[in-house]
Structure 1
Amino acid sequence: LVAYADYNIAYLYFLRGEFGRAIQMLRDATASAKKAEDSYQLALCNLDLSEIYLDLNLNTEAGELGRAAHQAFQDLGFGYEGAKALAFAAIAASRTGQAFEAIKLFAQAKDMFVRDQNLLWPSLIDLYEALVLFNEGRLFEAQRLCLAAYEFFRTSPMRGKALLAELLLARIALRMNDLPLAERHCQSTLAELEKLDSPLLQYQANFLMGEIARAGTKTQEAYQSYCRAREAIEHLRGNLRGEELKITFFQNKLEVYENLVDLCLRTPDRFEEAFGYIEQAKSRALMDLLSHSVHVPSVADPGQSELVRSIRNFREELNWYYNLIEREQLRPEERSQERIKQLEQQARAREADLMRALKEATVAEAHQAGMQVASMASLEEIRSAMPADTALVEYFRIQDRTIACVLTRDQLHMTPVTVHSRIQKLLQLLQLQISKFRLNPQYLTTFSEPLLLSTDAHLKNLYQELIMPIRHLLETEHLVFVPHGLLHYVPFHALHDGASYLVDRHSISYAPSASVYAVCQAKQSNASGDALILGVPDAQAPSIRTEVEALSRILPDARLFVGEAATEDVLRTHGRTSRMVHIATHGYFRQDNPMFSSIRLGGSHLSLYDISHLQLPAELIVLSGCATGLNVVTPGDELMGLVRGLLQAGAQSLVLSLWDVHDESTKEFMIDFYTHLQKGLSKAQAMRTTMLGLRERYRHPYHWAPFSLIGKG
């Protein structure tokens, strides 16, 4: 009975979009089912967990649980549930690049649904499989399956799926270079969308119209379609599900911004418009990242306004209705059209309530309610936040090209600088050199000079690609680099022109976007207060203890917590009043879902989403340890790492590592850095002085260049 109660409560949380609570309850129900040896209940838990993990992009776990649930339902003789579990496993396989395996599993699941006399799921699987075939370039097979799915859905109550099928038919026609057919499918979809409020489908249809117009060299029509697509995507908020496929339909939601930037760059008088689109793209990436989270703050959280509670309730109710509509449509028994219509009417009413509430809410209130709102600063706001001796260098990738924007208080320049594929190769070569420091000390001592020469050669090549085309524009004392994509791996401060490193001539800081930079300059932080120092030493990093103990003697009134005492509760309690927070530990990164990236504390791991919901209004937060700053960058998301979570938590400035750091040199770096800060140097000046000083003891950039300053310099 306990297992069934936990399962039913978890199911209710799942319907409301409260994934964190649903996962916890399902895990409890799983433990109870195992204890009671209830194989049916265990299979149900695995099935629901598989679906939740698909929503969270945890595809490996989703696939494993889907297969386990399928096998259990097969043994128990439950055909429909077993087929559904197999379909989830197929979706997980398609997302992890296993196209052949996905197609095989889809075929098996479809056969099971047909035997179970289910009318709807076979067509849904046709649509899923058509998308996999399309991505594999098997266009005629994809077209055949997609057309079959479209013919079914256009006479069914699932209007959104019919429109998705027709959009896929348009994409297939475009790939086949049949522009008239592609345009007809797209126009038909847009006409239907006038009767259906779906920003996601509006975005996809208008973006595709832009692609079709561009392929036909109709530049102005393409621009107008892309603008309509951008307007639609700005209405996509939070983790509201609505009409969408569990297989990604458009891999890169930010491509519309890239295309708009590309079109604007063709005329110099539109550089400011292009810069605005670049900032929108990066703000959108943060919004998408934070909307795919598992944690939803409790309704009972202190300090919530009535408006915040209303937004959360409307959002949860809307997810509830979206899920009920989908489940009603996918029921194996006869569906009630009247019931679906009533649910859709109730969902539309909640959508209107939610939009009204969001119009009244501030960005902070919307974030507190779990709704992510893209925020960006205007060009003038960014300029007004910049000191006179500062130039901001923002990079942006458009397909294989990388452009650089150089912004000062009175000028904006944009120019192409390099190609993505070349930077990718150079970065791989640089990272190969850095990785050699994991080898034994004898090797490093014997080959110290060749290691330095090889590394400097790669840093010179990166300088030629990224800095040389804009070098004449960088005459200021301080430089702020805003990378994009793979460029987040580049240590710009260590790039070499053949005579000196960039940090020899400039103080250097970084930012995830120009808007975030402007926010950090104006952000209120704890101007007074103690320093909070947390250290979690282990066998890989034994010097962490001596590092934090030394820092506690340098920083006045420091609170020091080491090992098991360095807990999340300590960070949560003392972090909100501390001027500086120093955490010496290991970071861990999840490529499949960056929101599960974490840092290790005493007795627990703190995820990126947990971090972003802490209150850490510190003037400076430093993470010293192995790979705490490493970010895996995917095509549609910007800077997937701990930077975003810590800035969201309130930090004004961050210091993070770009690569695994040698323990002893890290200790020396941090002691020097804080000593310079105590002498009154700015954070950027302290970083530069520390690097130059450490280079006298350690010549290789591996030792003196691993840390970057992010935010206010």
Structure 2
Amino acid sequence: MFTHRQRLTIKKSLARSAIALVLSTGLTGCATVPVPESALTFEQRDLSPQEVSEVLKSPPRSAGAKSAQYSAIPADGLALPQAGQKTPLGVVVSSDLEAAFEAYFHGRGEAALTRLAQDFDSNPDPRARWQNSLLRAQTLIMMGRAALAEEELERTSHLERAIFGSDLNALALRGEAKLWLDDYDGAFADFAHVVAALGTWELPIQYLSFPANRDVLYYATTAKLRAFTGIAGCYLFKEDYKRALAWASEAERLFNNAHFVTTHPLYGMGDQVYADSYYGRAMNLVFLASATLATTRNEKNSETLFNTAGEFFSAINFSVGHVTVGALKARILNQLGQTESALNAAKTALSLASDAKLPDYVWRIGVMTGVTLFDESRMDEAEGFLRQAQNAVDQVSGNLSSDRSRLRFGIGKDDIIHHLAQIDIQKKRWDLLFSDLEKARARAFIDLLADQALSQNRESALVAQIRDLESQILAYRLIVMAPGGADADTLAALDALAGQRQQKLDLLTKRDPEVADLITVRSVTLESVQTRLKPGEVMAYAIPGRPEDAVRFLLITPRTAFAKTLSLSYRELDDLLDRFSKAFGVSGSQRGISQVNTQVPLSSSSRQKSILNELRRVFPPDWWGAEELLYIVPSSGLYFVPWSLLETSYPVITLPTGGWVTREHAARAPSSASAVIVGDPEFGGELTQLPGAREEAIAVARLYDADTLLGADASEGKLRRAVGEGAGVLHLATHGVFDHDVPLNSAVMLSNGTDAESLTAEALFENPLPARLVVLSGCETGLGKAIAGDDLIGLTRSFFLGGANTILS
């Protein structure tokens, strides 16, 4: 139900990552459950938020509920549905559906989806189509595509209602998808609707005769087990351990009853136990063990439950399950302050994860352990775990991560740089601090650009080869995570693919380092940056911090490097910038000096003067030690400081990375025209014409003795023809639109000849406009979004990719 690619704070993200494929492959504990012959109907109705809360208080249980004797792991082994069989749900298994189950169980997601598509198109049986849709949603969750799974479950729900008169299983599985997407409220609501519909009903464990309507009660039992286990996991991650214990305890009773009936010599009647029936029970046992440990604070009380979970995982040869046990145990022991026990559990889990080549698990466990040791001032040990985490997280960045919510995925990753930076500063290792800062920034950038098409004209064939290798690596990682997948041949194949990818990346870095930076994490050395700085030039590299942390910089000169702290926190900086925004009529959510509201007079009002004076006090010109030039590599709110208003005697240039000064920009942006000037595109009434844009463009054109693209001529096609292979200056006097939610949708507004036409940041990444100097003269054009890991995504970075040395906005 939960995948290892979820995005919470480090202590919660670890727990989620540890249960990755396990629950995504199914929570059913009764793969073939015989049921009594009786009619069952389940009333579904919408619940208010108050009713949802009431349902979730405690698991419903009737006064006459019974518990079967403990059902041990069957000695006969497990099976997958076979072609020609009729499942207890009444589904006749086709050859395509059999192949899909087999591919799904062994982590071959794309193969499963292919066979499911073939089966859905060729199989008219309504029940088979419903099972197909449900398995497709489970497969998408396994592959880290929970948003697509939610879309598929709309179809599942429609098919399910037509057969059973309800959609309890689709609803329960949708709860799992929402948990993957960090939507706790949505997940709780879906689970609560299932629980409310089923009430105190549960699978009987005694029968007077062999049941005939197995499909209905198997259907109900599956939904109930899925919902109960989901609620237990949800409460565990929210650290409400008492409720997690209550729901997990009841789920284990129901799982045991279901396995008892399934394997009963009379009631089971030779039924097979399908492999997926062990996933849910094993995972619920891990939840139960974790909640027991958290509430009793006694490791012995939970050890039997952890061991039993491990036995179920071993029965299906699921190595990730054993990583799960160690990781969740370490997480709870950390919270209880039992550091040494937690450290032992984490080391065991890390060893298993490393051996199985599961970098997602390695970095989360490593960060959790490193942060705990850091808090206890065990810096050398903490650094070891944090650097292990940093190396692992580099392997799951960009296209090697299936996380589709990249702005949030950086939360746990930020803990790496936050703590490593403090260790580097404490030990005064400025070269390592610079490297760590560059790597964190690079990770954030390539995460956002994963799956993004890049320049068509810059090593496109080599990039395509790298993308193909990354797809193969991801496919093999899913196989490794599946039961029995971590065999020697598979691990060797994964190593070989990683080696081939690295060779291609080395070649790409040699040919076009900027395109390489969009795909892989790399950094230049501090010494190489210092070599490029001239006397009197300083680079101020912002050190990321939490809101309450003081703003700090790594100050770099040609000969020295050291950390220096300003007299305000990041929270205080945000407050100051908000007040600046209000004084100058700038939207708080889209701060930037280029978006000053023309209706707010830029006169020397006392309020504006006061804010500017305060900014100048916070950032005094002599604080930096620069005499000729100051490079700023910003972080968080520092991106939105109006540096040009600070009245320095030297220029201030903001850079996307510290290593930017080492690049040979001139070689990438040859100039076939001295200047290309665009102004006042024809919007056809869709947008207000930008006042003064035409006059500005004409005036600038006179300075460069250049032609202008005005009105209907200011189209993308004519602009690209004018720029050609590169321009010395590209001046755009037009509207810009900044999309705060999806920064790559930010756009420069041009014309299609009659109406407005957008040239987006995404399009510029794919097909850049090379120019040495780019001037963006219009509202919002200079804005961007500071993302986790401290990079700015917007129009400016897109033009930097095109080869710009400098961007004015």
TM-score after normalising by structure 2: 0.62
Residue 293 in 1 paired to residue 433 in 2? no
In the alignment, the residues of structure 2 paired with residue 523 and residue 204 of structure 1 have an alpha-carbon distance, to the nearest angstrom, of 41
Match of 1:197 in 2: 357
Match of 2:556 in 1: 407
Q: Which runs of 5+ in 2 are unaligned?
A: 1-99, 101-107, 118-128, 199-215, 249-283, 290-305, 589-594
SS at match of 2:411: coil
Superposition deviation, residue 572 in structure 1? 7.2
Superposition deviation, residue 641 in structure 1? 2.2
SS at match of 2:398: coil
Match of 1:689 in 2: none
In the alignment, the residues of structure 2 paired with residue 115 and residue 207 of structure 1 have an alpha-carbon distance, to the nearest angstrom, of 42
In the alignment, the residues of structure 2 paired with residue 521 and residue 253 of structure 1 have an alpha-carbon distance, to the nearest angstrom, of 30
Match of 1:667 in 2: none
The residue correspondences of 1:108-127 to structure 2 (distance < 5 A) are: 116=219, 126=229
Structure 1 letter corresponding to 2:343: E
Deviates most, 560-569 or 625-634? 560-569
C-alpha change, 1:593 and 1:379, in structure 2 (3 Å) is same
Q: Percent identity?
A: 18
Match of 1:481 in 2: 632
Match of 1:511 in 2: 655
Q: Which runs of 5+ in 1 are unaligned?
A: 1-7, 9-14, 27-39, 330-334, 496-501, 657-713
CA deviations on 1:466-514 (whole Å, 9 max, x unpaired) are x24x83442403222221111101112323xxxxxx24x2222111222
Which of 725, 728, 745 is the aligned partner of 1:579? 728
Residue 282 in 1 paired to residue 426 in 2? no
In the alignment, the residues of structure 1 paired with residue 236 and residue 610 of structure 2 have an alpha-carbon distance, to the nearest angstrom, of 42
Match of 2:43 in 1: none
Is contact 2:673-2:723 (8 Å) kept? no
Superposition deviation, residue 521 in structure 1? 6.4
Residue 383 in 1 paired to residue 530 in 2? yes
Match of 2:805 in 1: 652
Structure 2 letter corresponding to 1:82: A
In the alignment, the residues of structure 1 paired with residue 721 and residue 220 of structure 2 have an alpha-carbon distance, to the nearest angstrom, of 54
In the alignment, the residues of structure 1 paired with residue 231 and residue 565 of structure 2 have an alpha-carbon distance, to the nearest angstrom, of 38
The residue correspondences of 1:142-153 to structure 2 (distance < 5 A) are: 147-148=287-288, 151=309
C-alpha change, 1:297 and 1:648, in structure 2 (3 Å) is closer
Residue 260 in 1 paired to residue 260 in 2? no
Match of 1:233 in 2: 393
Deviates most, 355-364 or 505-514? 355-364
Between 1 and 2, higher relative CO (CA 8 Å, sep ≥ 6) is seen in 2
Deviates most, 565-574 or 170-179? 565-574
Match of 1:217 in 2: 377
In the alignment, the residues of structure 2 paired with residue 442 and residue 187 of structure 1 have an alpha-carbon distance, to the nearest angstrom, of 60
Structure 2 letter corresponding to 1:103: F
Which of 646, 656, 678 is the aligned partner of 1:534? 678
Which of 155, 174, 178 is the aligned partner of 2:334? 174
Residue 490 in 1 paired to residue 632 in 2? no
In the alignment, the residues of structure 2 paired with residue 626 and residue 74 of structure 1 have an alpha-carbon distance, to the nearest angstrom, of 51
C-alpha change, 1:84 and 1:123, in structure 2 (3 Å) is closer
CA deviations on 1:537-559 (whole Å, 9 max, x unpaired) are 54434323443344334432335
Residue 362 in 1 paired to residue 509 in 2? yes
C-alpha change, 1:199 and 1:340, in structure 2 (3 Å) is closer
Superposition deviation, residue 372 in structure 1? 0.7
Match of 2:795 in 1: 642
Superposition deviation, residue 609 in structure 1? 3.3
Match of 1:90 in 2: 178
In the alignment, the residues of structure 1 paired with residue 230 and residue 155 of structure 2 have an alpha-carbon distance, to the nearest angstrom, of 23
In the alignment, the residues of structure 2 paired with residue 125 and residue 609 of structure 1 have an alpha-carbon distance, to the nearest angstrom, of 43
SS at match of 2:441: helix
In the alignment, the residues of structure 1 paired with residue 140 and residue 739 of structure 2 have an alpha-carbon distance, to the nearest angstrom, of 19
SS at match of 2:355: coil
CA deviations on 1:565-615 (whole Å, 9 max, x unpaired) are 512674377353322222334444444443444443435434433312324
Residue 394 in 1 paired to residue 541 in 2? yes
SS at match of 1:579: strand
In the alignment, the residues of structure 2 paired with residue 121 and residue 159 of structure 1 have an alpha-carbon distance, to the nearest angstrom, of 27
Structure 2 letter corresponding to 1:235: Q
In the alignment, the residues of structure 2 paired with residue 591 and residue 222 of structure 1 have an alpha-carbon distance, to the nearest angstrom, of 36
C-alpha change, 1:394 and 1:351, in structure 2 (3 Å) is closer
SS at match of 1:394: strand
C-alpha change, 1:262 and 1:85, in structure 2 (3 Å) is same
Is contact 2:540-2:554 (8 Å) kept? yes
Is contact 2:584-2:600 (8 Å) kept? no
Match of 1:665 in 2: none
SS at match of 1:372: coil
Match of 1:421 in 2: 571
Deviates most, 151-160 or 279-288? 151-160
In the alignment, the residues of structure 2 paired with residue 84 and residue 576 of structure 1 have an alpha-carbon distance, to the nearest angstrom, of 55
C-alpha change, 1:252 and 1:389, in structure 2 (3 Å) is same
Structure 2 letter corresponding to 1:105: D
Residue 619 in 1 paired to residue 704 in 2? no
In the alignment, the residues of structure 1 paired with residue 454 and residue 150 of structure 2 have an alpha-carbon distance, to the nearest angstrom, of 26
Q: From the two aligned structures, give the one with the greater helix fraction.
A: 1
Superposition deviation, residue 207 in structure 1? 1.8
In the alignment, the residues of structure 1 paired with residue 401 and residue 641 of structure 2 have an alpha-carbon distance, to the nearest angstrom, of 36
Is contact 2:476-2:490 (8 Å) kept? yes
Match of 1:633 in 2: 786
Is contact 1:284-1:374 (8 Å) kept? yes
Deviates most, 381-390 or 67-76? 67-76
Match of 1:318 in 2: 473
CA deviations on 1:65-109 (whole Å, 9 max, x unpaired) are 477556544545496983487247624763xxx532332235557
Is contact 1:393-1:479 (8 Å) kept? yes
Deviates most, 343-352 or 507-516? 343-352
Give the aligned CA root-mean-square deviation in angstroms. Answer: 5.1
SS at match of 1:480: strand
**What is the aligned length?**
598
C-alpha change, 1:142 and 1:195, in structure 2 (3 Å) is farther
Is contact 1:587-1:627 (8 Å) kept? yes
Is contact 1:16-1:318 (8 Å) kept? no
SS at match of 2:346: helix
Residue 105 in 1 paired to residue 190 in 2? yes
Is contact 2:479-2:486 (8 Å) kept? no
Residue 206 in 1 paired to residue 206 in 2? no
Is contact 1:239-1:371 (8 Å) kept? no
C-alpha change, 1:167 and 1:566, in structure 2 (3 Å) is farther
Structure 2 letter corresponding to 1:509: I
Superposition deviation, residue 182 in structure 1? 2.9
Match of 2:584 in 1: 434
Superposition deviation, residue 349 in structure 1? 5.0
Superposition deviation, residue 262 in structure 1? 0.4
Is contact 1:430-1:458 (8 Å) kept? yes
C-alpha change, 1:278 and 1:264, in structure 2 (3 Å) is same
SS at match of 1:576: coil
In the alignment, the residues of structure 2 paired with residue 442 and residue 637 of structure 1 have an alpha-carbon distance, to the nearest angstrom, of 30
Superposition deviation, residue 408 in structure 1? 1.7
Structure 2 letter corresponding to 1:90: K
C-alpha change, 1:403 and 1:596, in structure 2 (3 Å) is same
C-alpha change, 1:117 and 1:551, in structure 2 (3 Å) is farther
Is contact 1:297-1:370 (8 Å) kept? no
Is contact 2:784-2:796 (8 Å) kept? no
Is contact 2:235-2:244 (8 Å) kept? yes
In the alignment, the residues of structure 2 paired with residue 507 and residue 247 of structure 1 have an alpha-carbon distance, to the nearest angstrom, of 32
C-alpha change, 1:361 and 1:125, in structure 2 (3 Å) is farther
Structure 1 letter corresponding to 2:358: S
Match of 2:240 in 1: 138
CA deviations on 1:240-262 (whole Å, 9 max, x unpaired) are 24799999777231321221110
TM-score after normalising by structure 1: 0.69
Structure 2 letter corresponding to 1:629: G
Is contact 1:90-1:102 (8 Å) kept? yes
Is contact 2:169-2:223 (8 Å) kept? no
